Amino acid sequence: MDKLRALEYFIAAAEGASFSAAARHHNVSVAAVAKLIGALESELKVKLLERGTQGIVLTAAGTAYLESCRPLVQGLAEADEVASGATSRVRGTVVVGVQPVIAQECLTPALPRFLAAHPEVQLDLRYFMRPTEEQVRGVDVMLVIGWPQADDLVQRRLGAVSYVVCAAPSYWAAHGMPRHPSELAHNNCLCVRSSQTGAVMDLWRFQKGDEDVSVTARGTVVADNIHRDAVRDLLVAGIGVGRILEWDTHHDTRFAAGALVPALRDWTSPEVPPVTLLHSPSVRRIARVRLFIEWVTQLFADIEHQRHAPAPATGVPRWLKSQRQRTSAAP
């Protein structure tokens, strides 16, 4: 039995909660994974994995064995990278968990440059919303908007997401463009739900100098965050007013064409969700992961330079802790 390969298959199966995940990761058949893990269990005379409703799960013995052998296998892989680093380019797969909005607005437009510079690095992009045990499993690096709760992961603030109030020219012509945030209370304001709590984000806060204004936004449409594009399309159709990400003003051609017109640009939001990079402490030592971390950090530094106004570093907002259905209802 190839003991090292058996350990690699076991670790990948445990992290991916399936033999098929391990097979994909190592580019082998499911039967090959199952056979080698079975041989490992026979040698140890102990059951490491069992089938559960959500895939395979670790037994108590499997959990203890994983905690003991994973650092050893990782250490050997790191030693191989150090030994070969002077004579070979960085290669291998980096698994990136990323929220769709970050992938669409920031990551995907820049990835051709990364792939051209590092042709032997493969990126495995995965849907990711929050650092739950299930979504973190098997992922090297995570990119998330908001205030993630993950004490066991390294967290690095890369930037922030600021909002722009906008509407179609036809809507502004019919209802008048607001000169003060308080005038938004008399408009049809389209809202989205927080991807972190599910609360309707209807408390729109504005700040200019010493003035701090909060507006409770009300309108005919509320959409989950994943359907933010639908809200943007409705704004273009002249249905109402919305808050969109400042990233959109750089990448959406409809702004350049005048289909959406920003308002209240001299006001800023005192609650800007940070863009956070998450990873386990150990992966930073892997050359290909370290390379991606350094690249994506510089990418967001460049994005921050394009910002209309500097985004403040804000703490966790009160509504995030209140568990209310609407952010305006937070005490």
Both 148 and 289 in one domain: the answer is yes
Domain count of the fold of the chain? 3
Both 153 and 190 in one domain: the answer is no
Alpha carbons within 13 angstroms on the beta-carbon side of residue 329 total 7
What pLDDT is attached to residue 86? 47
Both 210 and 281 in one domain: the answer is no
Q: Which domain covers residue 31, as residue numbers?
A: 3-84
Q: Is residue 331 part of a domain?
A: no
Q: Which residue has the tokens 């070969």?
A: 84
Q: Is residue 206 part of a domain?
A: yes
Question: Residue 290's domain is classified under what CATH number?
Answer: 3.40.190.10
- Closest by CA to 162, choosing from 314, 299, 301, is 314
Mean pLDDT value across residues 243-256: 77
Instruction: Give pLDDT tens digits for 48-104.
Output: 888 776 678 888 888 888 888 887 887 777 676 666 554 456 788 899 999 988 998
* pLDDT higher than 70, residue 120: yes
Q: End of a domain among 247, 271, 295?
A: 271
Q: End of a domain among 252, 271, 290?
A: 271
* pTM (2 d.p.): 0.69
Q: Is residue 49 part of a domain?
A: yes
Sign of dihedral through CA atoms 322, 328, 329, 331?
positive
Both 135 and 177 in one domain: the answer is no
Helix (H, G, I), strand (E, B), or coil: what is residue 301?
Answer: helix
Both 259 and 277 in one domain: the answer is no
Both 252 and 153 in one domain: the answer is no
Both 170 and 243 in one domain: the answer is yes
Both 156 and 218 in one domain: the answer is no
Sheet of 92-98: strand order equals 121-127, 92-98, 141-145, 274-279, 154-160
> Two tokens at 12?
């990948």
Both 277 and 222 in one domain: the answer is no
